[in-house]
Amino acid sequence: MTQIIETIDVNVPVTTAYNQWTQFESFPHFLDEVESITQLDDTHTHWTVKVGPFQREFDAEITEQHPDERVAWRSTGGDTAHAGVVTFHKLDDTTSRVTVQIDWEPSDAIEKLGSLVGAGQHAVKKDLENFKEFIEKAHSETGAWRGEVAR
């Protein structure tokens, strides 16, 4: 099992950062490898990602969601088993810390090699930098889902 943990501070209130993260269909704007996400219902999404020349699809389920605190998920189908959580921490009224933790099981030789050289870690770090740029330029979220999911 491979674990990735990355953190970034963003210059927006915690509610703004959290609200944007609940807008899954906007992820292709800041997650480089995500081609599309379709929100199926409040707790289910379908993802299409492209890593290098390889395209993969999977479904994910939101397993826990608490406004301004956390969003947790797990994959429910696809080639790579993974789960994760994004947590949101108020540093002050205008600054937030976003932490991503992902646990995944590389499924083939290419994913195992990528895991060994830290490709996933680098990708998550870059995605968080992209999120920071996206939300700070926008100054506000593109939408929000403030519902609770508790499992």
pLDDT tens for the chain, 151 residues: list them.
Answer: 789 999 999 999 999 999 999 999 999 999 999 999 999 999 999 999 888 888 889 999 999 999 999 999 999 988 778 999 999 999 999 999 999 999 977 666 566 555 555 567 888 999 999 999 999 999 889 999 999 998 7
Q: Which helix (H) or strand (E) holds 94?
A: none
Residue ranges making up the domain that contains 17: 2-23+62-138
Whether 103 is in a domain gets the answer yes
**How many domains does one find in the chain?**
1
Global pTM value? 0.91
**Quick one: pLDDT at residue 74?**
97
Whether 126 is in a domain gets the answer yes
Q: What DSSP string describes 3-54? A: EEEEEEEESS-HHHHHHHHT-GGGGGGT-TTEEEEEEEETTEEEEEEEETTE
**Quick one: pLDDT at residue 51?**
81
Q: Which helix (H) or strand (E) holds 80?
A: none
**Quick one: pLDDT at residue 94?**
97
Give me the CATH number covering residue 91: 3.30.530.20
Q: Which amino acid belongs to residue 42? A: D
**Quick one: pLDDT at residue 54?**
82
Whether 144 is in a domain gets the answer no
Cα 41–Cα 51–Cα 60 angle in degrees, nearest 5: 20
Q: What are phi and psi of 48, to 5 degrees?
A: -125, 120
* Closest C-alpha among 39, 23, 1, 139 to residue 86: 23
Q: What are phi and psi of 117, to 5 degrees?
A: -90, 5
Whether 57 is in a domain gets the answer no
**Quick one: pLDDT at residue 117?**
59
**Quick one: pLDDT at residue 118?**
56
Non-local (6+) Cβ contacts of 53 within 8 A are none
Whether 66 is in a domain gets the answer yes
